[in-house]
Structure 1
Amino acid sequence: MAVRPEGTPVWTDAMFTDAKAAKTFYADVLGWTFGEESTEFGNYTQAYKNGKAVAAVVPPMPGGDTPPQSAWCLYFASDDVAATAERIRAAGGTVLMEPMRVGDFGSMCIAHDPSGVVFGLWQAGVHEGFELEGETGSYVWAEVFTREPEKSDPFFTSVFGYDTKKMTGEDIDYKVFDLGADPLLGRMRMPAGDFPPEVPGYIQVYFAVDNCDLAVNAAERLGGRKLFGPMDSPFGRFAAILDPQGAAFAVIDVRTTVGEMPPLE
């Protein structure tokens, strides 16, 4: 697999207090299977769809007083995580976990932008990231949800060199980031009143499904909660879900589209 350009979404994982329950939930909702727990790396466990790596789950680090809130973390490709971490600081972001090597798999770093949106960096070693994308049960898209786009926009463009385009003809503040080709990432201003004030900005990860409504039904049957949707769009029929341990994600059937694609400028 060719090395992905710096700034390309390359991997996602989430920490769960009850990793076993998380595996049961996502196996049913997204059809994932799971590999062996990597005891050397905190029981990190990869998820697979059709035998290809699509994500991972991990229990909290031992010794913490309060388990962290479960959340999906999106990692962006980096040619040099130490150098990217310095750009993060220079652009007003905060490095939460200093660059560290993960065996021969690669190197990582965790940070947040000036508005508090958490994300990761991944410098590939033998683990190059997603082995399957854009197909059922795998990563397909992500959006930065922020209350302060005036902080997030210049940050992400500065750190990763993105070009930006604004969606027109819609009553929303929405942009897409790219590296001169296909869109890589969306950015949505969190509408006032739609999110409780205690909910911080975050990156919403979208996983592809064959049927959005059935995926939502499965999530609710297993204790998840629908945040909004299912709803139709030119991009597909989608819904946002909160899993039983509080991690937000979205599902989308990209083959069921309604309406014309909004123009970008």
Structure 2
Amino acid sequence: MPVPAAFTPGSPCWIHLTSSDPEKAKAFYGALFGWQNETSGEEFGSSAAGYTVFTKDNLPIAGLTLNDRAGFADAWAVYLASEDAAATARAVTEAGGRLLVGPVRVGMQGTMAAFADPGGAVVCAWQPEIHQGFGLSAEAGAPCWFELLAADYEAAVAFYTRAFGWKTETMSDTDELRYTLNSPYGDSTAGILDAKASLPAGATSHWVVYLGVPDTDDAVRRAQELGGTAMRPAWDSPYGRLAQVADPTGAVFMLISV
């Protein structure tokens, strides 16, 4: 089982789902990925509905809380590792981002903050204490990749380099594909895609989470049987067979074969 080593500052270390129906989300992701779940109370800085941690093989995978904000769609969020959340908050604002939440200490688990980058994408920072982040990666039922669909590609690359210390590498710079990695290729865990041409007019940037499955086509069928939606049919890529789906309340994520 690929277990992440200590997370490099600025690298994705946690994912979190905000759902308007947490019980439906527990059933959907449990059946699709075999995730178990455990809900804690308000001591973890969540609402009265509690904070749920999804697990696989007794290791943490993702978080879940109630989306009780009118007008906000259910969505997955990406957390980037930080050695000092307060310093990260200062770096984010100096780089042109906006502080949305925190920094706030979450019990003895760690400290979090949430930001909007210059393109409008929400991204979070996590300074760990007891909770280090997800315990599995790059395997079925675990996070495998993290991607920013950028409405302003150059501004996004500059922001994450300055705010989160990314040591970027350009993977492709053609008219067909402009893509930057968060680290040199062999160590990369996330990327920025120039999505200006594919995003709807006026759309903001946003992060996408890739979750691993043994068989992408079968996972798409299973997701639909469980009440989800196939947003884009499965297709082959150099990195595995991919598909885009949404859970029963509309939170979008990617599937990738591993």
- Same topology, TM > 0.5: yes
1:72 matched to 2:79: no
Partner amino acid for 1:38? G
Deviation at 1:189, TM superposition (A): 1.6
The runs of 5 or more residues in structure 2 that have no matched partner are: none
Between Structure 1 and Structure 2, the one with more strand by share is 2
Give distance in 2, aligned partners of 1:68 and 1:46: 22
Deviation at 1:187, TM superposition (A): 0.8
Aligned to 1:186: 191
Deviation at 1:219, TM superposition (A): 1.3
Q: 2:168 aligns with which of 153, 164, 168?
A: 164
Partner amino acid for 2:245? I
Deviation at 1:109, TM superposition (A): 0.1
Instruction: Using the TM superposition, name which of 83-92 and 218-227 deviates more.
Output: 218-227
Q: TM-score, normalised by structure 1?
A: 0.88
Deviation at 1:148, TM superposition (A): 0.7
SS in 1 for 2:217: helix
SS in 1 for 2:24: helix
SS in 2 for 1:128: coil
CA contact (8 A) 1:78 1:122 kept: yes
1:58 matched to 2:61: no
1:177 matched to 2:182: yes
Give distance in 2, aligned partners of 1:214 and 1:130: 25
CA contact (8 A) 2:52 2:64 kept: yes
Please tell me the root mean square deviation across aligned C-alpha atoms, in Å.
Answer: 1.9
Give distance in 1, aligned partners of 2:238 and 2:185: 22
1:188/1:232 Cα in 2 relative to 1: closer, same or farther (>3 Å)?
same
Q: 1:87 aligns with which of 74, 91, 102?
A: 91
1:18-37 equivalences in 2 (<5 Å): 18-37=21-40
Instruction: Using the TM superposition, name which of 194-203 and 67-76 deviates more.
Output: 194-203
Give distance in 2, aligned partners of 1:35 and 1:9: 22
The percent identity for this pair of structures is 34
Give distance in 1, aligned partners of 2:42 and 2:218: 35
Deviation at 1:197, TM superposition (A): 3.1
Highest relative contact order (Cα 8 Å, sep 6+), 1 or 2?
Answer: 2
Q: 1:236 aligns with which of 223, 236, 240?
A: 240
CA contact (8 A) 1:176 1:187 kept: yes
CA contact (8 A) 1:161 1:179 kept: no
1:83/1:148 Cα in 2 relative to 1: closer, same or farther (>3 Å)?
same
Partner amino acid for 1:12? I
Q: TM-score, normalised by structure 2?
A: 0.90
CA contact (8 A) 1:14 1:57 kept: yes
Q: Could you give the per-residue CA deviations for residues 137-167 of structure 1, whole angstroms, max 9, x where no partner exists? A: 0111110001111211100011122122223
Q: Could you give the per-residue CA deviations for residues 95-140 of structure 1, whole angstroms, max 9, x where no partner exists? A: 1112000000000000011011111000001001111111210111
Q: Could you give the per-residue CA deviations for residues 69-120 of structure 1, whole angstroms, max 9, x where no partner exists? A: 1110100000000000000000000111120000000000000110111110
CA contact (8 A) 2:53 2:64 kept: yes
CA contact (8 A) 1:163 1:180 kept: no
SS in 2 for 1:115: coil
Aligned to 2:11: 8
1:196 matched to 2:203: no
The runs of 5 or more residues in structure 1 that have no matched partner are: 255-265
1:45 matched to 2:48: no
1:181/1:230 Cα in 2 relative to 1: closer, same or farther (>3 Å)?
closer
Instruction: Using the TM superposition, name which of 86-95 and 198-207 deviates more.
Output: 198-207
Give distance in 2, aligned partners of 1:179 and 1:119: 21
Instruction: Using the TM superposition, name which of 122-131 and 1-10 deviates more.
Output: 1-10
Q: 1:222 aligns with which of 226, 229, 235?
A: 226
Give distance in 1, aligned partners of 2:252 and 2:79: 16
Deviation at 1:68, TM superposition (A): 2.6
Give distance in 1, aligned partners of 2:110 and 2:248: 31
Give distance in 2, aligned partners of 1:128 and 1:179: 23
Deviation at 1:58, TM superposition (A): 0.8
